Each structure stands twice: as C-alpha cells, then as structure tokens.
Amino acid sequence: MSPSAAKRHPITIIPGDGIGREVVDATVVLLDAAGGQIEPDYVVAGHVAFEAGIASGVPEETIASIARTKVVLKGPLATPVGTGNKSANVTLRKFFETFANIRPARELPGVPSAFAGRGIDLVVVRENVEDLYAGIEHMQTPNVAQCLKLISRLGCQRVSQAAFAFAASQGRSSVVAATKANIMKMTEGMFKSEFEKVASDYPQITAGHLLIDNCAHQLVIKPEQFDVIVTTNMNGDILSDLTSGLVGGLGFAPSANIGYDVAMFEPVHGTAPDIAGFGVANPTAMILSGVMLLRHIAQFEAAQCLEQALFLTLEEGIHTRDIAGEAGLGTRDFVDAIAARIGKSSSTPAREHHELKLTPLAGVDVDSSPGSRIKVGADVFLESQEGPEVLSERLQRLIVGTPYTLKMISNRGTQVWPSTGAVPTCVDHYRCRFIITDPTTWTPESVLDLLGRIGHAYRWMHVEKLERLDGTDGFTKAQGEN
Ligand code: NAI
C-alpha cells in the first residue's frame, strides 16, 4: 500500500437510483479533486436490490460494508408510493440507528430564491428513526386505518443532544425545539420536556420552543431568525423540505444521518425520475453532502476547498438547468466548472466547523421508572356499525359482574357517549373506556374476562391498559371528556 493510500478513509458509496449515480459520480470526482483522501467501496441498495428479490432493499454486502467503514456517501433510492416494498432509505437509517438527520439550509451565493439576500443559514435536525416512521400500521376495521406514533425518552434526548452538539460544533448560538405538544401532550410533549432537560447541559446555547405550525409560519415570515431547529421525524421531514425551498430548492439541500456509530451523507432530494438519464441533474446537494462527509472525517481543508470552489461557481452565475433553464449547464459541464475553480476562494466565507462530539447517553439518564403505577381501567377499541347509545347499552349489559364500569365512548377521539351535545359523524371504530371501581382489585385476568365478554358481541381490535404513574394519568382524555 502506498503512503497516501494508507491515509485514505474508507467510505461506503451507494450510487442509488434515478439521478443518483449521476450526482454521486460527480461528487466523487470533486472530492478527489479537492484533496479528499477517501477509499471508496461501491455497493448497492434500492431498486437493484428489490429486483434481486431482497425485500429490505439493502443487501448483506452493503450492510457489511457500512459496518466496516462507518461512513456512507449515498445517492437517493426509489421507494414505491402507497404499496409494495418498504423504503430502503428508512431501512438503512433504522438499521444503523442514525437517529439524527441534520439538514442545513444556507443561502448560497448567486442562487435565486424568493428569500435571497436575507442571509438564511439554519439547520433542521430531524429525529430519524421513531415517530410515525416506525411504520407500525394496522387496518382497525375495513374502513379505519391506524399508524402508531411512538416516541421514546431516549429518542428525544439523543436527537436533542445531537442538535446542541451540532450547534456547538459550528459555533451557533440557539436551538429551538418545534413540537405539537399542545395537542399531542404525551408524544410531542415528551419531546419538549426532554429537550428542555438536555438544554441545561448547554448553558452557552439559547434554547427555545415553538409550536410546529408557528415555526412553519415564522420560517416563511422571518427565516433569518433561526439557527438550529430540532423536531420529531414527521415534522422534520416536512419542515426541512420547506427550508430547502427557502434557499433555492431540493437541488441545493444536503443532509447527514448521524448516529453514535455510523454517519450517512445524502441529498434531501429523491431520484428525480423525470430527469434521470439526461445528464442535467443539479449535483449541488450531493456535493454539499460530500462536504459534510469530509468534515465528519475531519478532512476540514479538503471540505473548505471544495465548498469554496462550488460557492465561487454559483457566485459567477454558473448554474444547472433546474434554475437556469435551457441556458444552464449539464451535470458534467457544471462539475468541470467547479473543478476548474478548486483552490480559489469565493466571497462567501466558510462557517466555523469543529468536530461533532456525540457520546451515548448513560442509561440512567433515560430511565424514568415511576414510584407508583396503578391500573385504573382499560380502553377497548372495537368495530361497530351501531350508534353510541345502542353500543353503550349493550356493553353495559355485557360487563355486569366485572369490576369495570363503562365511563365513556369516543369515535376518532371525540366523546360520543355520554352525549356532550356535539353531533360528530361516527365511523365503525369506537374506543370504549372502562374504569375499574376499586383499583386495588385489578388483575390481568379481569382484563381478559372483559375482552372475552365484549368479544362475544363485537370484533375488538386492541386494548390499552389505563395506568396512573406517580399519581398522573398515563393516558389522555377524549375531546369533551371530563
Ligand atoms: P424528487 O426529489 O426526486 O423530485 C422532485 C422534483 O425535483 C422533480 O421535478 C425533480 O426533477 C426535481 N429534482 C430533484 N432533485 C433534483 C436535482 N438534483 N436536480 C434537478 N432537479 C431535481 O422527489 P419525488 O419525485 O417525490 O420522489 C422520486 C423518488 O425518490 C421516489 O421514489 C421517492 O421515494 C424517492 N426519494 C428518495 C429519497 C432518498 O433516497 N433520500 C428522498 C426523497 C424521495
């Protein structure tokens, strides 16, 4: 092995689908031209893997390569919409627990956008493996589908920590958590409260909170006020596409999926099937992802060199067709223009960058065992075409002799029995709340007995035990419930 090869950092490269290979090839050429010392290991995922019958879209060799190199440069992968295989992207993020998705949106010189001149330079840190993206879905009835929104204390803490650590690595001064804690008090509420705990470890950084809808509004009204925004998976998915739009569009939005062990760098955009194969894709987002990769492996000089050459190219008005129309360059000519500017500086300085330090949270930080835990009842979800009055009468007859009383019935979260005077439309999916009269008499068998009795007359789908943890209800009330 030559001395220079010995210094090279092994990198797994997944060219991806659609325009993936075009933008990945462009980026690898430039990483090299800028002095990046990388040793590529090319593997596949996505379409090719699905075609080969690999249901996850990620072959074993790809997993082995990532486990070895720990650093991935990845093009976009196609995912069928609505039906078919699961997303290979989501598989990769989950498999390697890359729990924080870092998505910078910085105004780039010479790139037109409705917000040009405002000095936007913000980062969305999106939780990457939990929330609705856990993909746990069930048809509750033939007419009602359910997706579980799972949020863990660990997930909230580590993505919050990643947001503050990233802010610190770039000398940024504020981190805002954006949640919907006013409506989803337990899931989004946990995100808010865990964020606040982590914030106390970073006294030099200002921590704030915004409701996600207000955050979206503020991002359009005054985007330059933001530094780092941290949020749950679904919120972050939507918000970060919005922030890409603020600085010129998807063609300019890079990202990093970061975990304690593995980091994966990819553009925010997808496979762009409408332009794939024509050699016109804008490689900027992929190149900027490559710049993030170089900084991750502490090759700061090469990163800055490539970033400056890209900035200068854009600053001189050299663009691809997505923003310059027919006058724009194809991918290859655009890459040549950047390569010709390697070693030159643009008028846009590089940000401050230091190593991103992430250390696993100690178990004690994420364990919140309650002192007391009292069972107070059960919510049974069942299918019925009946109206609430008929349903309540039948259920009350069915549970005579059990320790439970029927407290309330709701339909898609709104109380429909006892009547509150509201007249919501009812679908065939009810939640029936049974409360145990004397919690000291609760036994697991009592729940099984309850389900057995209900099961004689109705199809029930699932049951949720109702618990009071340290004197606080571990469940929410229905809309209208007292
Ligand atoms: P998309 O991002 O591929 O395309 C949206 C629009 O932006 C298209 O008009 C496209 O031509 C344009 N565009 C995107 N990137 C561009 C670039 N670099 N240069 C010039 N124009 C560009 O989003 P879409 O159409 O919703 O998704 C297509 C496929 O990509 C789907 O299968 C989707 O699942 C997948 N996808 C993969 C992602 C990933 O691998 N991380 C992320 C997003 C989507």
- The answer to whether residues 361 and 157 touch, using CB atoms and an 8 Å cutoff, is yes
Does the beta carbon of 101 lie inside 6 Å of ligand 1? no
Instruction: Tell me what pLDDT residue 3 has.
Output: 45
Per-residue pLDDT of the chain (482 residues; tens, 9 = 90+): 444 545 899 999 999 999 999 999 999 999 999 999 999 999 999 999 988 989 889 999 999 999 999 999 999 999 866 556 678 888 898 899 999 999 999 999 999 999 999 999 999 999 999 999 888 999 999 999 999 999 999 999 999 999 999 999 999 999 999 999 999 999 999 999 999 999 999 999 999 999 999 999 999 999 999 999 999 999 999 999 999 999 999 999 999 999 999 999 999 999 999 999 999 999 999 999 999 999 999 999 999 999 999 999 999 999 999 999 999 999 999 999 999 999 999 999 888 899 888 888 775 466 678 889 999 999 999 999 999 999 999 999 999 999 999 999 999 999 999 999 888 899 999 999 999 989 888 999 999 999 999 999 999 999 999 999 999 999 999 888 88
Q: In the 3-class helix/strand/coil scheme, how is 118-162 assigned residue by residue?
A: CCCEEEEEEECCCEHHHCCEEEEECCEEEECCECCHHHHHHHHHH
- Ligand 1 atom nearest to 77, measured from its CA: 40
Query: Ligand 1 atom closest to Cα of 286?
Result: 18
The whole-number pLDDT of residue 382 equals 98
Task: Tell me the backbone φ, ψ of residue 322, rounded to 5 degrees.
Answer: -60, -30
Of 134, 123, 127, 131, residue with least CA distance to 90: 134
Q: Is 275 in the pocket of ligand 1 (CB under 6 A)?
A: yes
The pair of three-digit structure tokens given for residue 71, joined into one six-digit string: 């650093």
- Cα separations (Å) of 228 from 123, 162, 455? 5, 11, 50
Closest C-alpha to ligand 1, atom 8: 272
Q: Which entry of 25, 94, 131, 133 is annotated as an active-site residue?
A: 133
Question: Is 237 an active-site residue?
Answer: yes
Whole-angstrom CA distances from 362 to 129, 154, 158, 162, 168 are: 19, 10, 11, 15, 20
202 is catalytic: no
The neighbouring-strand residues paired with 414 are 411, 479
State both tokens at 41: 């290991």
- 75, 24 in Cβ contact below 8 A? yes
Chain centroid to Cα 236, Å, comes to 6
108-125 residues labelled b (16+ CB within 10 A) or e (exposed): bbbbebebbeeebbbbbb
Residue 322 CA: which ligand 1 atom is closest? 20
The predicted pLDDT at position 2 comes to 45
- What is the per-residue pLDDT for 423? 80
Instruction: Give the pLDDT confidence score for residue 81 in this predicted structure.
Output: 64
Angle at the Cα of 19 from the Cα atoms of 13 and 21, rounded to 5 degrees: 30
pLDDT for position 371: 86
Alpha carbon 105 to chain centroid, angstroms:
16
> Which of 269, 319, 334 maximizes ligand 1 atoms within 8 Å of its Cβ, making it the mutation to test the pocket?
269
Cα of 22 vs centre of ligand 1, distance in Å, is 13
Task: Tell me the CA–centroid distance for residue 270 and ligand 1, in Å.
Answer: 3
Q: pLDDT tens across 389-399, in order?
A: 999 999 999 99
Per-residue confidence (pLDDT) for residue 83, from 0 to 100: 56
How many Å is the Cα radius of gyration of the chain?
A: 26
The Å distance, Cα 271 to ligand 1 centre, comes to 4
76 ligand 1 Cβ < 6 A: yes
Active site residue: 32, 86, 149, 241, which one?
Answer: 241
Regarding the beta carbon of 27 and ligand 1, being less than 6 Å apart is answered no
Q: Please confirm, yes or no, whether 213 is among the known catalytic residues.
A: yes
Instruction: Indicate the Cα dihedral angle 19, 20, 25, 31, nearest 10°.
Output: 120
pTM, entire model = 0.93
